[in-house]
Each structure stands twice: as structure tokens, then as C-alpha cells.
Copies of this chain bind each other. A is one copy, B any other.
Amino acid sequence: MAYRETEKMRQRKAQARQRIIDCTYECVANGGFRSARITRIAGLAGVATGTIYRHFESREDLFAEIFRTATQREVDKVAEALDTDGNAAVRLEAALRQFAERALRGPMMAWALIAEPVDPKLEEERLVYRRAYAQLFEKAIRDGIDEGCIPDQDARQSSTCLVGAIAESLVGPLSPTLAGQITIADIDKNKLVDSIIGFCMQGLTGTRR
């Protein structure tokens, strides 16, 4: 016998894999999934196109992993914002703000995750993550109902509406056609976020603050 996979090799491979992931991420954050070509990713990562396929089944698979990682990061941030002190309404407001503000800070990636037309497999992932957000919100709404700071309602339905309202409000500002040309001032961003949240909180609680 001769060659045996060694720790050093395992690490080197893991490194290459990570570099591919990072470069894909960069490509997507730069122009969305559609414009992220395998050849370009390989070029950036400093490997041959064939090498990509030693690390990932297919382009779809690679993208799915990027999508999951990127979205999970966002979901976690929202979960974090929900897991602080204060009553449920306050915490929900913080979470909604977190969601919107982060999206506006990385608009192209946010657009890719929320609104870019993608292949069916990614679209499926997207539905999963929209549900994940909705479930976080749903839980908080239930808490709020128990606490008495949110009136009784169909928590599941309301959570879906929250996700939709935020996503829709962001799609316009995030769309690359617009976003490429227009730069959104910080003041506008704050105003945007405030008014989205105003609507959402009133939808939940019946009052704006």
C-alpha cells in the first residue's frame, strides 16, 4: 500500500472547500445566484472547474449550501433579538428591526435570499427559511398573547403576514435594478424601517407603539 488520507490532506481539502464556499458567497453577494458562474467561482477560488465537483455534487448543491448558511445566519440573528428582556411586543419589534436593518445593510445578498428568481431547488430552501422566520415570530406572538401584551389572534397567520410585509417592503429598495443606481440614505432607511414596523406592530397589537 502507499497513499493514505492524512490529517494534513484532510485539512487542505477542507480549506479548498471553504475557499470555494467563500468565493461563491462573494459572487452571490455581488450579483445574486444567477450571475454566479461556476467558472468564475473556480477562478476566484484558484481551482479548476472540475475541482468544484470534487467538493459538491452540483452547482445547485453548492448554491443550496450557500443559501442555507447565509439564511441560517440571518435567522439566528432574529432569534437572538427575540431572546432578550422585555415583553413579547418589544422583543418582536426588535426582531423585525434586526431583520430589516440587516437586509438593508447587505442589499444584494438580501435580495438574492428573499426575492431573486432562483431554480426550484433553491426556491424550496427559500420556503423552508421563510417558514423558519415565521415560526420564530409565531412563538413570540403566542408568548405575547399569554403575557397579555398582544391580543388573541391566529399567531401562525399573523407571523406569515409579518414575513410578507417586511419582505415586500424590502423588495423594492433591494431590487438590483433600482438599488444599483439609487443609494438609500441612512435617514431614509430608518424611516423605512420605522414605518414597516409601525404597520406590523399595529397589525399585531392594534396600536402603533
Contact = CB atoms under 8 A, between A and B. Distances in A.
Interface of A: 117-120, 123-124, 127, 130-131, 153-154, 157-158, 160-169, 171-172, 175, 177, 192, 195-196, 198-200, 202-204, 206-208
Q: Which interface residue of A123, A124, A202, A207 has the most chain B CB atoms within 10 A? A: A202
A205 B199 CA distance: 10
Given A117-B117, A206-B207, A157 B169 contact: yes
Copies of this chain, whole number: 2
A195 B161 CA distance: 10
A133 to B, nearest CB: 10
Q: Which interface residue of A118, A161, A177 has the most chain B CB atoms within 10 A? A: A161
Contacts of A207: 206
Given A124-B177, A199-B153, A166 B164 contact: yes
A37 to B, nearest CB: 16
Contacts of A166: 164
B160 A164 contact: no
Nearest to A160: B169
Given A161-B196, A164-B165, A195-B154, A171 B203 contact: no
Contacts of A162: 165
Nearest to A192: B157
Given A153-B198, A154-B195, A154-B198, A117 B127 contact: no
Contacts of A165: 160-162, 164-165, 168, 203
